[in-house]
Amino acid sequence: MKNYSKIVIQDCKDELVPIPLEYFSVQDPHPYKKLGAIYGGKSPYYLRSMVLESLKSAQNYLQNKYEGWKLHIFDAYRPINVQQFMVDYTFSHLTREQGLNSKKLSILEKRNLLNQVYKIWAVPSKKYTSPPPHSTGAAIDLTLVNSKGCLLDMGCEIDDLSKKSHPFYYFHSKSSMEIAYNERREILNKIMSNYGFVRHPNEWWHFSLGDQMWAWQSNRKIAYYGRI
C-alpha cells in the first residue's frame, strides 16, 4: 500500500481554497476539532481549486440522480500537526482499549499498536516526497446524506479500524441490510469516480484526485499535488 509514496510529485501550484459549505453537508464542529486537534488559522474544509471543481460536479450529479441527497464532507485538508495528533490519539485509544499501560509498553507492543494505527492513518511525514494524502489538499473523506438530511448507514463509521472499512467488505453479503451497505458504498464510489476521483483500496470513505495515491492507483508516473 505504501508504494504510492514513491510516485514523483510535480506540484501544479493549484491554489488551496475554501469549500463552499452551503452546497454540501458538513459536521460542525469538525470531528477532529472536537477531539482537541488544533488547526491554528487553517481549516479542514479546504481543497485544491481544481479538486473542488470536480467535487462540485460530483455533488451536482448526485442531486440529479437522487433528489435532495448531498455529499457529507467529514474531512478534507489536514495539516501535518493534525495528522500527528490523530495518530497519537488513536495510539492512546487503542492502548486503553486493549488494557495496556501506556508507560510500560514493550517494544513489541508499541510496534503492534503502531501497525494497527497505520492501517488507517498515514504516517505524518514532513518529507516533501512522501506527504500524507490529506496534507496535499487533494484528498477527502466523505459519505452520503438523504433528502431528509440523515446520514446513510454505510456499514461502519468513517475512521473505523476494523475490516468493515474495506470498500468490498459487504460485497458477498446475503442479508438485505448488508446488501444495502454495499450498494450505498458503490453509489458513492460511482459518483466520485465519474469525476476523476479514486477510492482508497482499504477505506470506503476516502477519495483523492491528483495526489500520489491517485497517481499510483491510476498507473500514472507523476502526482500533481504535494504537501501544502
Q: Which domains does the chain have, with CATH numbers?
A: 2-79+128-223 (3.30.1380.10)
166 is in an annotated binding site: no
Mean of per-residue pLDDT scores for the chain: 95
Range 152-175 average pLDDT: 97
What does the chain come to in residues? 228
Range 68-81 average pLDDT: 97
Write down the catalytic residue from 109, 157, 178, 203. Answer: 203
What proportion of the chain, given as a percentage, has pLDDT over 90?
Answer: 91
14 is in an annotated binding site: no
**2 band by pLDDT with thresholds 50, 70 and 90:** low
| More confident position, 176 or 101 | 176
Q: Which residue has 485509544 as its cell numbers?
A: 93
Does 203 qualify as catalytic in the annotation?
yes
The pLDDT, as a whole number, for residue 128 is 92
Question: Is 60 exceeded by the pLDDT of residue 1?
Answer: no
Task: Give per-residue pLDDT as tens, 129-151.
Answer: 999 999 999 999 999 999 999 99
Q: Tell me the C-alpha distance between 207 and 161, whole Å.
A: 17
Q: What is the pTM of this model?
A: 0.94
Q: Tell me the C-alpha distance between 128 and 84, whole Å.
A: 16
93 is in an annotated binding site: no
